[in-house]
Structure 1
């Protein structure tokens, strides 16, 4: 898949659009519940943005070094060998991308669509043989519709992605700056921040909060999944990854400051979906409709970007004999990995039908932490293992950027695993099972 149609701005829109999803509207109340301190709330969002930027800097070097389809899979194979690459690829195939798609689609169908189209939109849907809850039905419909869009071509999907990213990003940033810039609300926020750091939350509470923040920031590596389709990847891919991540990190901080300008920390913890709730408190019904429409566009952009990026995992794995051969085939008409696309849609649909919203978010985030940490650490491994390989972009904050990212991820995973967190144990279990499968079945067959 080496037809390079996408330029810098389309790739940057993919990164920003993949990041700007349901997380920034759903995660803040969850974070507020765990930390219960405005200052800790903002500090954790800053820490999440810093970690995402560190990760983006690392994958920018990797992506420019090996601009291929499949995301982290080629780097992991080069750094650690086929076993780790196989296990990580299957973790992403079964958990990371289907879990992200399911979470975003369910959140959109449960929160945004009923506001815009009326409460009847959330009513159960009778399909004849079975009745499905409204949000479940429309979440599946969203996944299938955007998978269909990606089926018919990367260029069309990239253009749609650009529109679905730029419009809501600009409007939401403008609204947030307006809210934070108001003198009265700034005074409220400053008063709230005087609560300070004492008493601070426990390590477990910080880890739980960070897991939700990590999900909100996920997508900073989206462009590397279509590295084989980006024009002049040595220049455009690093700019897209770092530029898109920085844009969204700034927006997230402004949005979170805006939430604290509207709600105190206890009320924020109970609002459910922060974006619509803040719009209602500030602007009334008309504001709710306008802001919800922008959130919906952002959600569609995030789902579309995730569909586009995630399908390239199965494609890259199939090329190495690590997935069903059909996943590596391209459509003769559209040049897209159609089997990989619809396999991903089927897995996301299964998760939508079998999990609750917060379970989906935590499950996807835990899987991302594992795969993301291995990918970022591969910068260090490959600098030692293959120092002569051409690197069009070299990470400037080496080795601090990978150490910050991996260190924060290990802290969160360790704190949650110590408390028996189910999402971390499930993700780690899938990873371990895939390693065992590779050692006992796949490796002997490929020798």
Structure 2
């Protein structure tokens, strides 16, 4: 569908709802563990939530300019190809296929299984089987077509709001710790720079999704005016919710206890609602995770499918096949499921999320830099929206992203090395297949 065919029907309020719905997922319920483990103190942990929000707002405002100026299918892949050449778009698509999407699915499946085993008092040996079962189940459901996946997504979006607001309201009203648990700001044995950086990596997983915000610009009535308002307003509301719910957590449990549990939100819920009420909230959290997992499975298979339709991946002829009845990208879904299940065997939620955040933020920073590059290379390019306070806002996004990347290289060199290696493997594959690339509507000749 071309840009001229898009109906401009989205106003400010629907745009705000889209931003909030894209971002709020599972991280707010589980990342307090990694954040307070990294910082060793509640004050620095809360600072990480705020800084993560500020960097995300700056990133959203910056990326929206290039998204509105280059409204092409493929999103960030198209932006990188336009600015840096085909190879960078290819490496992003490759990284999304073998790292970003599968790592997201595996991490969410692991945390879903962790919650299930805790709720049903199952042994830890059931964690991986439950994670694998939920991946296979959702792959099968989405094979029935995008309508089925969309229904699951709608129900889970409503479900995720219930535990959020229940914990915030009751936790703030009945939490026994009060302000004392919001201090100290720093811990003596945790260097501020690296501790804050590690906590930021954790918070950025909770803020994931803002990169897609600019995709709605072509359907907005007044993108120049309403898009920045939706980004700033929506992400500010998300940040406020994240900060307030973490204050509620700390009103109930100290940071040291939150750092020591795999299920911080569920533990808080059990204390403030009792065992029975806590289980109800836990079910709500499970619905939220289930929805986030479904979202990545629903959209994730479209990336290798799109690449395969252009003969860009090994086995493209097979990967580009659709289900004969439901017309869903079934074979690409199988690929994503297989890689995700392999990653499930790591069993480490935080390692997987840190890996995917590190890899994707390399490309995010390149996207932010592309805004500046295109301002110089293509000054006459039609831009229905321009990032405000240029170049200050892009600079905040670039510096914040660079801090996340370099801190991960410093504090998690093995994880960062794996991410870089898996991404770089895509380069020789790109070279070997470049001559075979074709347009999506061409017939296969090989």
Question: TM class by shorter-chain length?
Answer: 0.7 to 0.9
**What does residue 384 of structure 2 align with?**
392
**What does residue 271 of structure 1 align with?**
261
**What does residue 65 of structure 2 align with?**
61
Aligned 8 A contact 1:79 1:378 in 2: yes
Aligned 8 A contact 2:156 2:288 in 1: yes
Query: 1:381, CA displacement in angstroms?
Result: 2.4
Aligned 8 A contact 1:7 1:231 in 2: no
Question: Which residue of 105, 114, 117 maps to 2:117?
Answer: 114
Do structure 1's residue 357 and structure 2's residue 349 form an aligned pair? Answer: yes
State how far apart, in whole Å, the 2-side matches of 1:310 and 1:14 are.
19
State how far apart, in whole Å, the 1-side matches of 2:152 and 2:15 are.
12
Question: Which residue of 49, 52, 66 maps to 1:48?
Answer: 52
State how far apart, in whole Å, the 2-side matches of 1:82 and 1:107 are.
36
Query: 1:140, CA displacement in angstroms?
Result: 1.8
Query: 1:93, CA displacement in angstroms?
Result: 1.1
State how far apart, in whole Å, the 1-side matches of 2:327 and 2:66 are.
25
Unaligned runs of 5+ in 2: 439-446
Say which SS state the counterpart of residue 345 (structure 2) adopts.
Answer: helix
Distance change >3 Å, CA 142–CA 378, structure 1 → 2: farther
State how far apart, in whole Å, the 2-side matches of 1:296 and 1:168 are.
8
TM-score, normalising length from structure 2?
0.84
Question: Which residue of 149, 168, 172 maps to 2:164?
Answer: 172
Per-residue CA deviations over 1:181-240 (Å, capped at 9, x if unaligned) read 55x65xx4423345245757342222222221112222223466xx59x98267689587
State how far apart, in whole Å, the 1-side matches of 2:37 and 2:156 are.
31
Distance change >3 Å, CA 335–CA 64, structure 1 → 2: farther
Query: 1:406, CA displacement in angstroms?
Result: 2.1
TM-score, normalising length from structure 1?
0.84
Aligned 8 A contact 1:26 1:274 in 2: yes
Say which SS state the counterpart of residue 155 (structure 2) adopts.
Answer: helix
Aligned 8 A contact 2:40 2:186 in 1: no
Query: 1:434, CA displacement in angstroms?
Result: 2.5
Aligned 8 A contact 1:221 1:241 in 2: no
Query: 1:311, CA displacement in angstroms?
Result: 2.4
Aligned 8 A contact 2:41 2:183 in 1: no
State how far apart, in whole Å, the 1-side matches of 2:285 and 2:408 are.
30
Aligned 8 A contact 2:60 2:213 in 1: no
State how far apart, in whole Å, the 1-side matches of 2:310 and 2:379 are.
24
Task: For 1:395-406, list aligned pairs within 5 A.
Answer: 395-406=387-398
State how far apart, in whole Å, the 1-side matches of 2:242 and 2:264 are.
12
**What does residue 205 of structure 1 align with?**
195
Do structure 1's residue 376 and structure 2's residue 379 form an aligned pair? Answer: no
Query: 1:295, CA displacement in angstroms?
Result: 0.5
Task: For 1:30-179, list aligned pairs within 5 A.
Answer: 30-111=34-115, 113-116=116-119, 118-120=120-122, 122=123, 133-179=125-171
**What does residue 31 of structure 2 align with?**
27
Say which SS state the counterpart of residue 210 (structure 2) adopts.
Answer: coil
Per-residue CA deviations over 1:294-351 (Å, capped at 9, x if unaligned) read 1011101111221233223223333444222444455564454333333222221221
State how far apart, in whole Å, the 2-side matches of 1:178 and 1:248 are.
19
Distance change >3 Å, CA 212–CA 42, structure 1 → 2: same
Distance change >3 Å, CA 4–CA 333, structure 1 → 2: farther
Distance change >3 Å, CA 432–CA 24, structure 1 → 2: same
Do structure 1's residue 441 and structure 2's residue 432 form an aligned pair? Answer: yes
State how far apart, in whole Å, the 2-side matches of 1:317 and 1:92 are.
11
Aligned 8 A contact 1:52 1:245 in 2: yes
Say which SS state the counterpart of residue 152 (structure 1) adopts.
Answer: coil
State how far apart, in whole Å, the 1-side matches of 2:6 and 2:344 are.
33
Say which SS state the counterpart of residue 79 (structure 1) adopts.
Answer: helix
Question: Which residue of 221, 224, 227 maps to 2:211?
Answer: 221
| Count of paired positions | 428
Aligned 8 A contact 1:10 1:158 in 2: no
Question: Which residue of 268, 289, 296 maps to 2:286?
Answer: 296
State how far apart, in whole Å, the 1-side matches of 2:129 and 2:182 are.
42
